Structure 1
Amino acid sequence: MFKKYVLVCQYFIATTIFYLLVFTPGTYAQQHLTSAQSTATIHVDLNKTLGPMYPAWAWFGYDEPNYTYMKDGKKLLSEIAALSPVPVYVRAHSLLVTGDGKAALKWGSTNAYTEDANGNPVYNWSIIDSIFDTYVQRGMKPLAQIGFMPQALSTRPTPYRHFWKPGDPYSDIITGWAYPPKDYKKWAELVYQWVKHSVQRYGQKEVESWYWELWNEPNGFYWKASMEEFFKLYDYTADAVKRALPTAKIGGINVAGTGSQGAQQWLHAFVKHCFSDTNYVTKKIGAPVDAILFHAKGSPRLVDGHVQMNMGTQLRDIETGFKLVASYPQLKNIPIIIGESDPEGCAACGMHTNPENAYRNGTMYSSYTAASFAREYALADLYKVNFKGAVSWSFEFENQPWFFGFRDLATNGVDKPVLNVFRMFGMMHGKRVNLTSDQGYDLRTAVDSSFRRTYPDINGMACKDAHEATVMLWNYHDDDVKQTAKQVTVQLKGLPQQVYMHHYRIDDEHSNSYETWKKIGSPQNPSAEQIAQLEKAGQLQLQDSPQWIKTENGETAIRMTLPSQGVSLLKFDW
């Protein structure tokens, strides 16, 4: 209790300092941005198709697997499943870690593998089953991460359980679970038994629809051995998966910092290993690979007393990965999954220890998410790759202070504004169509320079289906300072004679539990009535009442005021 009290005090001190810095008038960023034009025009041509609106956004992940079947974890997973018209994929760390199943920050365990006094394997699938049951019951699919090393198999079994907390060195999480197995055949048998058990429990057809992948960021903290040793682990793992289910899909390798030279060396070496090297198990050339996975992260920082995002860093990671895959004829059409795709790298680091993470509670996270996914689709189009999905490494943290500044989708069971962007994406179906903006950043500028010019990115993406069209719009800038709202005119063509329009909005007044929480006094022990009020504020809300619109020759103009870091969704039905 005392520890939680200290964390709450730290949070309020950090928040107070942050607000004093950000909202002091006359900062450079405020002066810098007020010179931009106050109006913007967006053109949407529903007759010009760009490609399918595949659900690349419908992927989520988190460090702490035991949160999955806890109260708020189940609630959030139900909401995520409900917002998507297709099955959502979920990735979690530590599914093979030894322990008692109690959740903690950056930690999780299932105790799936132990050994008896004679060194014989003992398998226990009860906790893994609790996790995967929670997904499958909601129509979700595991992106099943095979890792990390059980204590009984680790070449360095102690120390094993860590007790990391925000503010501690990140490397403190690295213990015995990050080491190779002392017996590769025992490791392979564990993987074989897990996949075989999954088929018996959920059925072959269900497990065939999953993706399996080995480990996490082997080029970073998470793997305490050589590249060659990791490829050996991959061969034993992939062979075991395919022996249990020949039609199972397995891929790799979820490197960190994809834009870096070191990460690219890992990716090139992995491709070479899968197509040219001798397999450690079969002694033949090559190893199975059914998906390519890598990570992409931004890098926010404090500048002149406010948070400045850097989406360009994340986009360059993505472009590097897409370009690398496109350079190999053997990888043509292979699914690409961005295993973690986020504004920065540590979900469990709160803004009390990392003030640059103060973007997470409000609408900055929402507009960033909207603007970044649009560029991910554009980069996939540019490099003509099979972009399958991008995992947002954001979930929830049980029994933590309200709005503590973690990178999460909900706090204490109340949805944060960012989750409503995914609700918007869930309504976008059919084909992506052409959208242009006279105050939008082009793709090359966004990737190379991020969003730092004197004007914000007033932009969007649009879709058309058989009987509906959707237009998502945002007012985004890397500098998290409030600026004058934009007058936006959306010129649409290609509509039928009459349409029924819904206008959904995320801003300070709509779909925003955080602003509501502040207005009621930022309570850390809200009453049942206040919680109900916050839950309602966390849902996606309409800007105005729905209305019928008559078009002229299939054209119409929609005018609105779009606040700084606001996001809108226009949905037209006919």
Structure 2
Amino acid sequence: MIRVPAEPAGRFSDAWRRCVGTGRVELALRRDYQDSLRLLQQDIGFRHIRGHGLLSDGMGVYRPYEWQGERRVRHSFSYVDQVIDAYLELGIRPFLELGFMPGELASGEQTVFWWRGNVTPPRSHQEWAALVRVTLTHLVDRYGLDEVRTWPIEVWNEPNLPDFWQDADESAYHRLYEVTAHTVKEVDAGLQVGGPAISPGADEWLDRFAEFAEHRDVPVDFVSKHAYSSGPAQHVPFGVHQTLAPVSDLLAQFATPRDRLKGTRLAELPVHITEFNSSYRPDNPIHDTAFHAAYLAPVLAAGADHADSFSYWTFSDMFEEAGVPTALFHGGFGLLTHRQVKKPTYHLYAFLARMGEELLTRGEDHLVTRHADGRVTVLAWAPVDPTGETPGPERHTLRLSVPIGAGEAFALRSTVDEEHGNARTAWQRMGSPRSPRRHQLDVLHEASEPGRRHERLPVEDGRVDLALTLARHEVTLVELSPVEEEAPEWWDEGRLLGREPQ
């Protein structure tokens, strides 16, 4: 029996929902994307959203032309305005990533992804600075300085990888960062700029980034990096399989910036994990499973110990880095499939959104919070075996003594496991249709909802004895609220069918 303290240990941080990832921002122009984001905000309510391609050709910002023998540039914000308007209307702010390079400004032709984002340095840093300046000035003019100051501005994406930055040229990145950061501050000193947005396995970049920033007196308002826990890809047609490290590896990656930057000028800056997930591949079936929700539960519960935000990559399967998906469930990063079918990890986030403001306790398999009105919420998860050598325990038991001030408590339990809140299971049983018919899609939406049950529990000495048995890969939310009985004194369930009282 675990005795939950009656007094809070502090506030439960909402770092887990301060940012979420998205496919290239151009996708926000589509209906399915906006429908998915609307649902996400209704159930979870993320604060910021980050994606690639703000300055790529698909957004059409950089438009050079010639007139009377002179080369000029026209900047168009038609798509940028539509995207950001849609975000703000849905209650989410952009976390701006400056990239990739417009083709006409690029120094080379190297691209990444199916949609060909150019990853070469600018052929003119002066023109790049002008592009950054005019873009941010437009955003300030349109949305107001106070608003845009709340949008972090990240310089590029994973420059330590040659796929994302030509030759992974660190000195070229430092030059790009320096030009960009000074330009941002020229627009307004209160705008937030940071980097270096590195992928896992390149932590030495943080050390040299700090040295560079101090030596060159370059503005840095936050430090960013990414975290993934999967091994090399084992390819199959339209998919991959990968090994997974223990989930503690993700938390260790979250902690890296603060650990490595101690004693530097960047030591006390906010740390943003601007991408994290298990697999770094958008076609790994692990993303669609109940296992995945149970695997990531401890990360969401404890991530705020190490970072100011950690952004799940991504909110929707509308993504397309590796091309248009070939099936509804295809291992996409998303919390939602196309057509808004919720995955188990979606519910992990939705459960967290229903937690209270006061943190009562946290353990290796549970998190307990309390709302201001006295409701107590318990999130619990079954342990998993990321090695795959065992299926994980078939049953996992947890017993808590929970403080609640009432004679009885109403307990509502919402469950996600292999059978509940798991549309992938239903999809496989119906034959894994790549493009489900309308009635099949209806079934999948129904199957994606958590299992729910409720009961009254006795309260003794101001405490509820909460005994939970979790199935394999289960994540469960129990909401406890004091019972205030308002049934009239004459009500008798025994007379429901008109029988005389005994």
Q: Same fold (TM over 0.5)?
A: yes
Q: Does 1:504 align with 2:414?
A: yes
| C-alpha contact 1:42 1:435 (8 A) present in aligned 2 | no
Deviation at 1:302, TM superposition (A): 9.5
Q: Does 1:249 align with 2:175?
A: no
Question: Which of 54, 62, 66 is residue 95 of structure 1 equivalent to?
Answer: 54
Larger Rg: 2
2: CA distance, partners of 1:312 / 1:253? 23
Deviation at 1:434, TM superposition (A): 2.0
- Report the 3-state secondary structure (helix = DSSP H, G, I; strand = E; otherwise coil) of the residue aligned with 1:406: coil
- Report the 3-state secondary structure (helix = DSSP H, G, I; strand = E; otherwise coil) of the residue aligned with 1:543: strand
Q: TM-score with structure 1 length normalisation?
A: 0.74
Q: Does 1:129 align with 2:91?
A: no
Deviation at 1:329, TM superposition (A): 6.1
Question: Which of 327, 330, 334 is residue 269 of structure 2 equivalent to?
Answer: 334
| C-alpha contact 2:413 2:477 (8 A) present in aligned 1 | yes
Name the counterpart of 2:402: 493
How large is the Cα RMSD of the aligned pairs?
Answer: 2.5
Name the counterpart of 2:500: none
What per-residue deviation string (whole Å, max 9, x for no partner) do you get for residues 405-459 of structure 1? 22222222112221111101111231322234xxx4xxxxxxxxxxxxxxxxxx1
Opposite residue 442 of structure 2, the aligned amino acid is A
Name the counterpart of 2:238: none
Question: Which of 251, 268, 272 is residue 211 of structure 2 equivalent to?
Answer: 272
* Structure 1 residues 111-122: aligned runs within 5 Å: 111-117=60-66, 118-122=70-74
Deviation at 1:550, TM superposition (A): 3.4
Name the counterpart of 2:429: 519
Name the counterpart of 2:480: 572
Deviation at 1:193, TM superposition (A): 0.9
* Structure 1 residues 28-427: aligned runs within 5 Å: 42-85=2-45, 87-98=46-57, 109-117=58-66, 118-156=70-108, 158=109, 163=114, 177-221=118-162, 222-224=164-166, 226-257=169-200, 260=201, 263-274=202-213, 276-278=214-216, 286-300=217-231, 308-310=243-245, 311-325=247-261, 327-328=262-263, 330-331=265-266, 333-347=268-282, 350=283, 357-377=284-304, 379-380=305-306, 387-394=307-314, 395-397=316-318, 400=325, 401-413=327-339, 414-427=341-354
2: CA distance, partners of 1:479 / 1:564? 15
| C-alpha contact 2:8 2:358 (8 A) present in aligned 1 | no
What per-residue deviation string (whole Å, max 9, x for no partner) do you get for residues 346-378 of structure 1? 22xx2xxxxxx332222011111212222423x
Opposite residue 362 of structure 2, the aligned amino acid is L
Question: Which of 362, 366, 378 is residue 471 of structure 1 equivalent to?
Answer: 378
2: CA distance, partners of 1:239 / 1:299? 36
1: CA distance, partners of 2:309 / 2:10? 18
2: CA distance, partners of 1:58 / 1:504? 24
Deviation at 1:521, TM superposition (A): 3.2
1: CA distance, partners of 2:78 / 2:263? 41
| C-alpha contact 2:356 2:372 (8 A) present in aligned 1 | no
Change (3 A) 1:44 1:329: farther
- Report the 3-state secondary structure (helix = DSSP H, G, I; strand = E; otherwise coil) of the residue aligned with 2:147: helix
| C-alpha contact 1:44 1:490 (8 A) present in aligned 2 | no
| C-alpha contact 2:411 2:478 (8 A) present in aligned 1 | yes
Opposite residue 335 of structure 2, the aligned amino acid is L
What per-residue deviation string (whole Å, max 9, x for no partner) do you get for residues 528-571 of structure 1? 222222123223x34313x3433212222222321111101112
Change (3 A) 1:300 1:272: closer
- Report the 3-state secondary structure (helix = DSSP H, G, I; strand = E; otherwise coil) of the residue aligned with 1:187: helix
Which runs of no fewer than 5 residues in structure 1 stay unpaired? 1-40, 99-108, 165-172, 279-285, 351-356, 381-386, 441-458
Name the counterpart of 1:37: none
Aligned residues: 459
Change (3 A) 1:271 1:329: closer
Q: Does 1:561 align with 2:492?
A: no
Opposite residue 396 of structure 1, the aligned amino acid is D
| C-alpha contact 2:9 2:361 (8 A) present in aligned 1 | yes
Deviation at 1:67, TM superposition (A): 2.1
Which runs of no fewer than 5 residues in structure 2 stay unpaired? 235-240, 483-502
2: CA distance, partners of 1:273 / 1:483? 46
| C-alpha contact 1:364 1:565 (8 A) present in aligned 2 | yes
Change (3 A) 1:573 1:210: farther
Higher relative contact order (CA 8 A, sep 6+): 1
| C-alpha contact 1:417 1:514 (8 A) present in aligned 2 | no
Q: Does 1:549 align with 2:451?
A: no
Opposite residue 318 of structure 2, the aligned amino acid is F
1: CA distance, partners of 2:404 / 2:263? 41
Opposite residue 273 of structure 1, the aligned amino acid is F
| C-alpha contact 2:396 2:472 (8 A) present in aligned 1 | no
2: CA distance, partners of 1:150 / 1:307? 34
| C-alpha contact 1:249 1:290 (8 A) present in aligned 2 | yes
What per-residue deviation string (whole Å, max 9, x for no partner) do you get for residues 166-224 of structure 1? xxxxxxx6x7x211112111111111111111122222222121111110111112122
Percent sequence identity over aligned pairs: 22
1: CA distance, partners of 2:464 / 2:378? 13
Q: TM-score with structure 2 length normalisation?
A: 0.85
Deviation at 1:300, TM superposition (A): 5.0
- Report the 3-state secondary structure (helix = DSSP H, G, I; strand = E; otherwise coil) of the residue aligned with 1:122: strand
| C-alpha contact 1:59 1:89 (8 A) present in aligned 2 | yes
- Report the 3-state secondary structure (helix = DSSP H, G, I; strand = E; otherwise coil) of the residue aligned with 2:80: helix
- Report the 3-state secondary structure (helix = DSSP H, G, I; strand = E; otherwise coil) of the residue aligned with 2:409: strand
Change (3 A) 1:332 1:495: farther
2: CA distance, partners of 1:307 / 1:543? 33
- Report the 3-state secondary structure (helix = DSSP H, G, I; strand = E; otherwise coil) of the residue aligned with 1:565: coil
| C-alpha contact 1:499 1:573 (8 A) present in aligned 2 | yes
